[in-house]
């Protein structure tokens, strides 16, 4: 935005895949399409999701859970949306937003090594399709 105001750039803002966060307890963050919006836009989608307690909280005895959801446009395999409720959701989704902006596919997510034990690694290990 500052490039448009101060740098005389002649382009506007791209409103696709703008990450959003709600700094509540637990934190909520999202980027890309919701499941309903993806179903309306694409003929087929795949929805991956998980609910779990992050390992670092299991070891420390904290009772904090997280929810992650990945929306994939099929058959292109392009990730169309990512959603998370849990600790540091905004930080995690900010990184995922870069991947969506770059056009990452589910195969790219699957080929990415996760940092263990982090909550963010769940986005690159998601294998369970929603029924």
Residue 6 located in a structural domain: no
Sign, Cα dihedral of 98, 100, 106, 107: negative
How many separate domains does the chain show? 1
Residue 97 located in a structural domain: yes
Q: Which of 1, 11, 59, 116 is catalytic?
A: 116
Range of the domain at 61: 16-124
Q: Which residues contact 89 (CB under 8 A, 6 or more apart)?
A: 21, 26, 27, 28, 29, 66
d(Cα 24, Cα 2) in Å, to the nearest integer? 29
d(Cα 43, Cα 20) in Å, to the nearest integer? 26
Residue 18: pLDDT over 60: yes
Residue 54 located in a structural domain: yes
The mean-pLDDT minimum among 64-68, 83-87, 110-114, 125-129 falls in 125-129
Is 11 a catalytic site residue? no
Residue 45 located in a structural domain: yes
CATH number at residue 56: 3.30.390.30
Residue 119: pLDDT over 90: no
Residue 5 located in a structural domain: no
Residue 100 located in a structural domain: yes
pLDDT mean over 96-109:
97
The model carries a pTM of 0.86
User: Would you place residue 7 in the very low, low, confident or very high pLDDT band (cuts 50, 70, 90)?
Assistant: low
d(Cα 113, Cα 109) in Å, to the nearest integer? 8
* pLDDT tens digits, one per residue of 20-78: 999 999 999 999 999 999 999 999 999 999 998 777 667 777 778 899 999 999 989 99
pLDDT mean over 3-11:
67
* pLDDT tens digits, one per residue of 63-99: 788 999 999 999 899 999 999 999 999 999 999 999 9
């Amino acid at each position: 935005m500052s490039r448009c105001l101060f740098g005389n750039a002649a382009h506007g803002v791209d409103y696709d895949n703008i990450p959003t966060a709600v700094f509540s307890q637990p934190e909520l963050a999202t980027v890309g399409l919701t499941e309903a919006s993806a179903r309306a836009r694409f003929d087929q989608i795949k929805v991956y999701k998980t609910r779990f307690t992050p390992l670092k909280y299991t070891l420390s005895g904290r009772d904090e859970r997280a929810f992650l959801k990945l929306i994939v446009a099929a058959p292109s395999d392009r990730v169309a949306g990512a959603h998370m409720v849990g600790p540091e959701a905004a930080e995690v989704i900010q990184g995922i937003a870069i991947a969506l902006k770059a056009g990452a596919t589910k195969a790219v997510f699957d080929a990415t090594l996760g940092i263990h034990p982090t909550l963010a690694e769940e986005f690159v290990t998601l294998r369970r399709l929603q029924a």
